Structure 1
Amino acid sequence: MKFRDGMWLVAEGKRPEYAEEVYSLTSDDGKAMSLLCPTRKIFQRSDSLNLPTLSVDLRAEFDGAISIEVTHWQGAQNPGPHFDLYPEGKPETRNTKITTTDTTTTLSSGSISATVKTAGHDFDIRFHATNGSQKELTSLLNRSVGFAYSPAPSNQMVTGNMTNFQHYIFTQTTLSVGETVHGLGERFGAFNKVGQTVTLWNADGGTSSDQAYKNVSFWISSRGYGIFIDAPDKIELEIGSERCCRVQTSIEGQRLKWYILYGPTPKEVLQKYSILTGRPGNVPSWSFGLWLSTSFTTNYDESTVNSFLEGMKARDTPIEVFHFDCFWMKAFHWCDFIFDSKMFPDPKGQIARLKSSGLVKKVCVWVNPYLGQASPVFKYAASQGYLLRRRNGDIFQWDLWQTGMGIVDFTNPNAIKWYVSCLEKLFDTGVDAIKTDFGERIPSEDVEWFDSSDPKKMHNYYAFIYNKIVYEALQNRFGANEAVLFARTATAGTQRFPLQWGGDCESTPEAMAESIRGGLSLGLCGYSFWSVDIGGFEGYPPPWIYKRWVAFGLLCSHSRLHGSNSFRVPWLVDDNNKSEQGCSRILSKWTALKARLMPYIFSQAQESVRLGLPLSLRAMCLEFPDDPTCWYLDRQFMFGDSLLVAPIFEESGEVEFYLPKGRWTNFFTTGEETRDGPGWFKERHEFNTMPIYVRQNTILVLGQASETRTVYDYCKDVQVCLFQTMPGAKSSLVDSEGKLVGVLEVGDDGNLRDQEFLHGSWHVTKKETLASR
């Protein structure tokens, strides 16, 4: 939201007031300070009358983190929900101090400090590194903190009745020359957000708009800091778009709180962010295998499902998880958790037969938090108070998505118990994982939640409690590290409930690029695991797009074939082309490659969870923050810390990509084809390869060439590949449960040591790359 019309004029219908100076500063515990900031400069006593003030409170939260809260009227209520911060406990605040000079007061919290100018009549707060470099991160300068009315009141008397006005709090942090801004959830537009207006409000808008399923109030700067906005409300950001040199954050209400986190590297920023909002949850090794879906509106039954799985097996493509989408339930009955008896007369038996046949190991089903009134379950849930109500006591209903649809009120503990009991019945039937779809279109007006939560805050926050409930139900049934969601909606903190997928994309190369930008942005908000609908959700992918998307999709952390009104099995895409470049063979090859990479992938997954990092898609700037080019790269990514992946968007196979400084080895050549960065390179690929480059000084452990399983002994019969390694290079190996088995290390003689945990027919290759299967 813009409050000004250019630099000189106020926006039509708005009245902004700004903190003009720091009139007084108080501190009581050495860890915080409170600033009283009038909205005009105070030169004499009479200047203090008949004017608003703003309170600006700064607190040292933990090493490298300072919170800033701006308040206009402190008597305003602050109803929940509030973000669930410090889920693993708040660190002790060490190395905090307040120092003063004749003109400034500085609050230090370990590596970051905030210096407030206290002399003169200026408003000036600088955030900077505590060390001797005094590196300035960002600032709050003149006209950077304030509040605004809309419409503009004629005088203060009329604000006695605030029902006629909207009240906003805003801050504007400075943007330095060349600074870039990233994150803010799964955003499908330009990777660098400078110049954009971003609204943090969950919406079911597909991947081709500025709307987002996953709005996360956290952004990361190329200058080594991040900002987390501690509010699940609707947040408006003008990122170099109201003032080109500032990021404006505004929210409707009387207070705005955010945290500034100093790295100095982006990885360290994400580590600190994970302290605040939680680390990603662990996912089991089986979840990294290929998932196959029925697709959305397609017609299917047990025979259809079996034919697909048998077809995949005949084409050397193992399926780890089979997913039943919406129509496992009767039309108009979503989501009452009852299998359509006409199509699935024996669901428990069918699932048991699927698993015993060896065609699939796990089963997933689709759910959502809504309930159509056509189902008899609706009447029961309504009578028990499990559904969201309007202010007059009616059940909130609309005909959006499902006829007469109600929304489960997860602020009601009894509604949670009922919903979990429905999930447990699914688990009893043989279901192992849950796709938690929808949860974005939560009404914010004319509703009253069971616990009296603020409806506007609940709009985004609903994603957190919805996914938390289902994830914890899975954990309670299957174990802490065996729970897997396929979630679409998210907000800050839902990285704790993996995994997420990118929503409804079209079957076009442009949509694949949109999806990559979304995955990169979400990864920079601390999400380790992310997936996409391979081939695109909407439409009918031509064979070339399907095959290029297969290559990209199998190098996401998780891989799922899913569509809208058409199936995604390969032989239906290209009329069962059986050639080496046909869809079936290409899918088989990329699925096998991911299986071979599992020793590397699963080890990297544990590290990603520990540090709060994306496994894949990992933005290049996380691994190469000192390379300015890497902060703009949105068509390639890192898979873990050692593999660079550049998807292809052209039918011809032409691709251009960037390699940062260092020596890189082409994964798909049998010789020693290397490239030296930094630089841009062009290549042309058939469908069974694309640019995958291995970073120098990498120990890459691969399963044997014939491996097609996802879960196996990652220390047996493996190939240990040394890519341009130096003495001291290390690589951790874990077992299929994620437990550390050992650490491989290159000795001073250039050879591998610490090998005792490897067994079977394992072997070492040096400076060589591996041909595709």
Structure 2
Amino acid sequence: MILKLFSSNIQLGDFEVDSTAGVYTLSQTGEEYLSARFSRVLLEKSTTNCELKNEKKPTLCLEWEDLVRLEVTESTHDDNINCFNIVWKPISNHFIPLDCLKLSDYHWYGMGSLKSQQWPLEENSFDFQAYISSDLTQNEQFGPMIERYWINSNGVGIFVDNSVPLFVSFNNKQDNSLCFKSDYDKGVYTRKNQFPVLKYSICKAKNVRKVHDYLSKKCFDLPTASPDEDIMKFPKWSTYSRFQTNVTQFHVLNLVNSINKNGFSSSQIDIGVGYEREIGDFNFNDKKFPNAHQMIGELKENKFRVTTSVNPIISVKTKNYQIASKEGYLVHNNGAPYNFIFQSKNVSIIDLTNSEAAKWFKTKLKSILTDHLIDSFKFNLGQASFLSTLDKTRTFSEIHNPCEYTTKYVELAQTFDSRVIVQSGYQTQKFPIYIEIPEHIASWSKDNGLPSIIPTVITYGLLGYHFVIPGPIGGISLVNDNNKLKLPNRNLYIRWIQLAAYLPVMEFSVAPWQYDDEVVKIAKEFVLIHETKVLPHLILASKESQVNGSPLIRPVWWIAPQDKTALRIDCEFLVGDNLLVAPILEDVAVRDVYLPEGSLWEDQSSSKRHEGGQWLIEYSANISHIPTFIRLKTPL
């Protein structure tokens, strides 16, 4: 154990605590790579050394006057990766652990889906919130998929233990800090320990790629297989963006007829929200779907696979609510079902910690498959925010972190088949199913419009969710003054088609023929490009993901982790290691394209070759063209 004590400073390898200043720093060869300030409460307290019994690794232990104990353990791994496990253990209810890590001038990645999806992360700014997933309908910052994982451009990686009752702030009021707080008092988490422990690991590697390759394998399970390949190969069609909750049998049959008439292929058609009489009815509304069996029969005759959207929420107006309430299958509050308002409906939520409730829910869903010959499901919702008041609600089996509900929901969903689609995720990377990112609006805006698709998809991939559905082409349609849905801007829609063609799944809801013949022609061309040119890259990357965890859609820095320009590119991406895509994300016909260093690149439209590490200024891309480049050679 290399432990040095200098007055108020105590050091363990790279890790040094200054108890007088209330900070710790990590340095290598005299250069600081991370620093953090801890709770100001400790500045006025004296420290004493303590010992960790039965610990064989190098350790540091400090105690502050019966308030808290800090335990730090060092470990060294292959490829010169050094890690420190940091644990704050309160020994009094008068102390809340709080560490604020300095972002410095580095670029940061990870976290999960966000209200404002930025790449890199440092452009975000928000105060402390419970670190749980949500549907982003209130003032939440965190979307339906989160992980307790952060990495930066300097080769630093951080992972917070799943047991921590975690609250996070990021660059709040531009304070240049990532802050972690462990706290039971807000009612979000149930107590696992007497006092709130803050436990996390910091690892340092040569660069961002090295630290990610190491830390992601420690934090996330590899996918056990690839999901259904047809969904990746052929377009998926859905009703929600175009018809929203007004979908009817007529709409579905008309859509299918139009798909065939216009000569498009299909992997499946998803009948979205709005087909049920009430939320959680698990059946077709016979007023909107007077003969659902006949409709699905026609779809089957036309070689369409059919899915419907389901979720774990049940309206109090349904028979299923009465059954579930009587049997104790719902999350409860003081012995009664925990009811709340969702989309103006009074609802409750199925308690999936109860194995009997989960079995009942699954049986209900299987009856739909049998009765209507439905092929599979899209599992909506499942976010932890629906259980975000664990001090008021109770589940059959106690859960300490609401995100555990998300895990159970996805575990149930994946038992159906490899065509399943989910919307939420937490520690569920291993399941061979698809995950759909949050809805994006039909806009050119970087704030949840077309440009934010790339940051979202590459963030999902970085966190181990590789089989991503980027949502409907054109985004969610806006409502005009007559309360009718209006078509997305024509150029926006075309550019969205082009982007989607190079992502894992193409999904149409607003249809190309709602515009004109040229849009239909462009859409067919890019569907063909996806099926013939992009799919081979996706299949190869899919196989790699099961071996080493590499995402299908990769950030530009993936092959150039020390290229300072590549580290901040948010408008390009790689499919696998060798296909670079630079979509047009504004209503223009030119853009600057960056080619990452260390490789020779061939322009797929002109066959011109360019050395990496340079910008192609004002690259021309008319409305039917998207800039793409193939990587020809790499450094030895």
CA 318–653 in structure 1, closer or farther in 2 if over 3 Å, else same:
same
User: % of aligned pairs identical?
Assistant: 19
- Structure 2: unaligned runs, 5 residues or longer: 1-20, 23-38, 185-195, 479-486
Q: Say whether residues 1:363 and 2:291 are aligned partners.
A: no
1:484 aligns with 2:419: yes
State yes or no: 1:647 paired with 2:587.
no
The aligned counterpart of 1:695 is 631
Alpha-carbon deviation of 1:678? 1.4
TM-score (norm 1): 0.67
1:327 to 2:274 alignment: yes
**Contact preservation (8 Å) 1:287, 1:484:** yes
Q: Which among 598, 607, 610 is matched to residue 544 of structure 2?
A: 607
Match of 1:372 among 303, 315, 323: 315
Aligned 8 A contact 2:540 2:576 in 1 = no
2:410 to 452, 467, 480: 467
Q: Distance in 1 between matches of 2:377 and 2:338?
A: 26
2:85 to 40, 63, 68: 68
Q: Output the CA distance in 2 between the equivalents of 1:61 and 1:383.
A: 55
The yes-or-no answer on 1:214 pairing with 2:145 is yes
> In structure 1, what is the equivalent of residue 347 of structure 2?
405
CA shift at 1:536, angstroms? 0.8
Aligned to 1:529: 467
Query: Offset of 1:243 from its aligned partner?
Result: 9.3
Give the CA deviation at 1:569.
1.2
Instruction: Work out the CA distance in 2 between the residues paired with 1:418 and 1:57.
Output: 46
Q: Distance in 2 between matches of 1:410 and 1:285?
A: 29
**What aligned pairs does 1:608-687 form with structure 2 within 5 A after superposition?**
608-616=545-553, 618-661=554-597, 662-669=599-606, 672-681=607-616, 682-687=618-623
Match of 1:3 in 2: none
Cα distance between partner residues in 2 of 1:345 and 1:263? 61
Matching residue of 2:187: none
SS in 1 for 2:122: coil
Corresponding position: 1:194 with 2:140: no
CA distance in 2, matches of 1:374, 1:352: 30
Partner of 1:134: none
1:596-651 CA distance string (max 9 Å, x none):
022332122111232222212x1112221011111111111111111111121232
1:353 CA drift (Å): 3.1
Unaligned runs of 5+ in 1: 1-6, 9-13, 40-49, 75-158, 476-482, 563-567, 698-724, 729-773
Q: Deviations over 1:512-569 (max 9, x none)?
A: 112222222222212212222210114130111111111111211122124xxxxx11
- Larger of the two Rg values belongs to structure: 1
Q: Note if contact 2:411-2:428 (Cα within 8 Å) is conserved in structure 1.
A: no
Q: Does 1:252 align with 2:168?
A: no
Equivalent residue, structure 1, for 2:32:
none
User: C-alpha distance in 1, partners of 2:155/2:545?
Assistant: 19
Paired residues of 2:538 and 2:576 also in contact (CA < 8 A):
yes
Mapping for residues 122-271 of structure 1, pairs under 5 Å: 168-173=96-101, 175=103, 178-187=105-114, 188-194=116-122, 196-197=124-125, 199=129, 200-205=131-136, 210-231=141-162, 235-239=166-170, 247-253=178-184, 254-262=196-204, 264-268=206-210, 269-270=212-213
Q: Distance in 1 between matches of 2:173 and 2:244?
A: 43
After TM superposition, the structure 1 stretch with the greater mean CA deviation from structure 2, 251-260 or 543-552, is 251-260
Asked if the contact 1:309/1:319 (under 8 Å) is kept, the reply is: no
Tell me, in whole angstroms, the C-alpha distance in 2 between the residues paired with 1:664 and 1:652.
24
Q: Is the 8 A contact 1:67 1:257 kept in 2?
A: no
Residues 1:208 and 1:532: Cα distance change in structure 2 (over 3 Å): farther
Q: CA deviation at 1:495?
A: 5.9
Written as runs of structure 1 = structure 2, the 5 A alignment for 1:721-736 is none
Amino acid at match of 1:499: Y
What residue in structure 2 maps to residue 284 of structure 1?
228
Question: Cα 1:651–1:234, aligned 2, differ >3 Å: closer, same or farther?
Answer: farther
Q: Is the 8 A contact 1:207 1:515 kept in 2?
A: no
Q: CA RMSD in A?
A: 3.1
User: Structure 1: which amino acid aligns with 2:405?
Assistant: Y
Distance 1:65 1:527, change over 3 A: farther
Could you tell me how far apart the structure 2 residues matched to 1:225 and 1:232 are? 22
Q: 1:464 to 1:388 in 2, by over 3 A?
A: same
The answer on 1:560 being equivalent to 2:510 is: no
Residue aligned with 2:342, SS? coil
Instruction: Give me the whole-angstrom Cα distance separating, in 1, the residues matched to 2:593 and 2:438.
Output: 26
CA distance in structure 1 between the aligned counterparts of 2:256 and 2:377, rounded to whole angstroms: 20
1:533, 1:560 within 8 Å by CA — same for their partners in 2? Answer: yes
Contact 1:186 1:519 in 2 (8 A): no
Q: CA deviation at 1:38?
A: 2.4
Preserved CA contact (<8 Å) 1:232 1:461: no
d(CA) in 2 for partners of 1:657 and 1:178? Answer: 24
Question: Does structure 1 conserve the Cα–Cα contact (< 8 Å) formed by 2:312 and 2:381?
Answer: yes
- 2:338 aligns with 396
What secondary structure is seen at the aligned counterpart in 2 of 1:16?
A: helix
Which whole-Å CA distance do the structure 2 matches of 1:614 and 1:207 have between them?
Answer: 31
Matched residue type, 1:16: V
Counterparts of 1:614 and 1:374 in 2: how far apart (Å)? 43
Which residue of structure 2 aligns with residue 504 of structure 1?
439
Distance change (3 Å), C-alpha of 1:22 and 1:613:
farther
Q: 1-side partners of 2:302 and 2:471: how far apart?
A: 28
Matched residues in 2 for 1:453 and 1:680: separation?
51
1:680 positional shift:
1.7
Distance 1:605 1:561 in 2: 23
Q: Where does residue 16 of structure 2 map in the other structure? A: none
Name which of structure 1's ranges 230-239 and 542-551 shifts more when overlaid on structure 2. Answer: 230-239
User: Structure 1 residues 537-546 or 308-317, which shifts more?
Assistant: 308-317
Residue number among 441, 450, 457 corresponding to 2:396 in the alignment:
450
- For residue 326 of structure 1, give the secondary structure of its aligned residue in structure 2: coil
- Separation in 2, partners of 1:533, 1:676: 35
* Local SS of the residue matching 1:489: coil
Return the alpha-carbon distance in structure 1 between the equivalents of residues 416 and 464 of structure 2.
22
The alpha-carbon distance between structure 1 residues 189 and 640, as it changes in their structure 2 partners (threshold 3 A), is same
Does residue 55 (structure 1) correspond to residue 70 (structure 2)? The answer is: yes
Aligned partner of residue 182 in structure 1, secondary structure: strand
**How far 1:236 moved relative to its partner?**
3.5
Conservation of the 8 A alpha-carbon contact between 1:196 and 1:239: yes
In structure 2, the CA distance between the partners of 1:596 and 1:621, relative to structure 1 (3 Å rule), is: same
Q: Which amino acid aligns with 1:461?
A: E
* Partner SS for 2:41: strand
Distance 1:439 1:663 in 2: 45
Give CA deviations for 1:95-145 in whole Å, capped at 9, x if unaligned: xxxxxxxxxxxxxxxxxxxxxxxxxxxxxxxxxxxxxxxxxxxxxxxxxxx
- Three-state SS of the structure 2 residue aligned to 1:613 is coil
Q: Give, in angstroms, the shift of residue 449 of structure 1.
A: 1.3
2:249 maps to 1:307: no
Query: SS at the partner of 1:351?
Result: helix
**Would you say how many aligned residue pairs link Structure 1 and Structure 2?**
559
Which amino acid in structure 2 is aligned with residue 522 of structure 1?
A: Y
SS of match in other structure, 2:230: helix
The 2-side partners of 1:258 and 1:22 are apart by 22
Question: Over residues 702-736 of structure 1, what are the superposed CA-to-partner deviations in whole Å (9 max), with x where a residue is unaligned?
Answer: xxxxxxxxxxxxxxxxxxxxxxx99x9xxxxxxxx
- 3-state SS of the aligned residue for 2:588? coil
Note the 1:336-347 alignment, pairs <5 A: 336-347=281-292
How far has the Cα of 1:314 moved from its partner?
Answer: 2.9
**Contact 1:642–1:695, Cα closer than 8 Å, also in 2:** yes
Q: Which amino acid aligns with 1:605?
A: S
